[in-house]
């Protein structure tokens, strides 16, 4: 029972441990980015507030036909400080997110090396044992002596007819074939009869 629960929870299973570590890092990254974005949002609200204060003071002064009676340097200095703070926080957030992405990428790469891939398709060159034979019609690789037809275009890889043999035509579609080599028509797939 303890083994079953351990397997279910991922204890002593390196794949599940790594998957949990990746999930944890992704959650930490999201949390960090969210917190910094919130700080940036607050700083932008303060910038908006400073602009509103400037606008209100200018409007009031204009409405009352008075000279503008406030220190523009103070407000614009605060706006500049807030914009610098926003830029620093964005750069820091991007740098941290990049580091998390790199770490998560390395963990995923490691996971892909230890995770079993039961039904993963093999590349054609692995199936052919590294053979360099390619279909003359579509250039897809194939295994000589094993593949009878191209996986890409259906071209026949059957050995050429012995010298002196003649070609016949399919009675169904008229495509030529070699009676001593081909059992089925390459054009329509009909079973070929040597007496055709």
Give the model confidence (pLDDT) of 89-111 as tens digits: 999 999 999 999 999 999 888 88
Has residue 42 got a pLDDT over 90? yes
186 found inside a domain: no
Which domain range does residue 9 map to? 2-114
Tell me, yes or no, whether 88 lies in a domain. Answer: yes
pLDDT in tens, 108-128: 888 888 776 555 555 554 444
Confidence of residue 158 (pLDDT cuts 50, 70, 90): low
Residue 64: per-residue pLDDT: 84
Q: Read off the pTM.
A: 0.48
Round to whole Å and give the CA distance between 126 and 120. 12
Q: Which SS3 state, helix, strand or coil, does residue 168 take?
A: strand
The count of residues in the chain is: 196
8 A C-beta contact, residue 125 and residue 142:
no
| CA atoms in the 13 A half-sphere facing the CB of 146 | 10
Number of domains in the chain: 1
Name the pairing type of β-strands 168-169 and 176-177.
Answer: antiparallel
Question: Is 70 exceeded by the pLDDT of residue 49?
Answer: yes
Q: Which residues pair with 184 in a beta bridge?
A: 191
182 vs 192: CA distance, rounded Å? 7
- Establish if 123 belongs to a structural domain: no
Please give the pLDDT value at position 85: 93
7 part of a folded domain: yes
């Amino acid at each position: 029972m303890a083994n079953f629960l351990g397997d279910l929870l991922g204890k002593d299973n390196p794949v599940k441990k790594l998957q949990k570590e990746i999930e944890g890092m992704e959650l930490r990254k999201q949390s960090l980015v969210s917190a910094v974005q919130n700080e940036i949002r607050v700083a932008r609200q303060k910038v908006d507030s400073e602009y509103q204060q400037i606008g209100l003071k200018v409007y009031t002064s204009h409405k009352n036909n008075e000279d503008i009676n406030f220190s523009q340097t103070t407000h614009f200095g605060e706006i500049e400080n807030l914009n610098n703070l926003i830029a620093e926080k964005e750069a820091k957030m991007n740098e941290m997110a990049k580091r998390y992405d790199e770490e998560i990428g390395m963990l995923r790469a490691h996971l892909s090396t230890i995770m079993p891939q039961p039904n993963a398709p093999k590349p054609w060159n692995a199936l052919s044992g590294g053979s360099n034979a390619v279909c003359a019609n579509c250039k897809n690789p194939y295994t000589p002596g094993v593949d009878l037809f191209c996986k890409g275009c259906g071209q026949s890889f059957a050995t050429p007819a012995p010298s002196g043999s003649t070609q016949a035509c399919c009675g169904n579609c008229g495509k030529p074939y070699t009676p001593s080599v081909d059992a089925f028509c390459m054009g329509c797939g009909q079973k070929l009869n040597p007496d055709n």
